[in-house]
Amino acid sequence: MQQFNCPFCGTRDQSEFTYGREVAPVPALDASPADWQRFVYERDNPCGAHAEWWHHNHGCRQWLEIVRDTLTHEVLEIKAARRSKERA
């Protein structure tokens, strides 16, 4: 089984995680329908490195940002999606 090395929980089976979507800036609430259309429905679907949000729903329950190779499934990068304290 594919495994992800969660920055909080360590290496866990992929079945503990739920795929969210590709990483993209969330449009403002009053953004145009065209912008929302693009955000909700349109995907680049690259062959290779792909930045994705995953939820560790059966673990620490944090959202993670994973850069995953869609051809080889290799995880190139994994980090917490939550911004750190400097945002406060």
Residues that bind Zn ion (CB under 5 A): 6, 8-9, 56, 59-60
Q: Does 19 bind another protein (CB under 8 A)?
A: no
Q: Does 60 bind another protein (CB under 8 A)?
A: yes
| Smallest separation, CB 47 to another protein (Å) | 29
Residue type, 15: S
Residue selected from 21, 43, 58, 79 as contacting another protein according to rule CB under 8 A: 58
Residue type, 70: T
| Smallest separation, CB 26 to another protein (Å) | 18
Tell me which DSSP letter residue 30 carries: T
| Smallest separation, CB 82 to another protein (Å) | 6
Q: Does 51 bind another protein (CB under 8 A)?
A: no
61: region left, alpha or beta (phi > 0 left; psi from -120 to 50 alpha): left
Residue type, 84: S
Q: How far, in Å, are 37, 44, 69 from residue 41 at the CA level?
A: 6, 10, 21
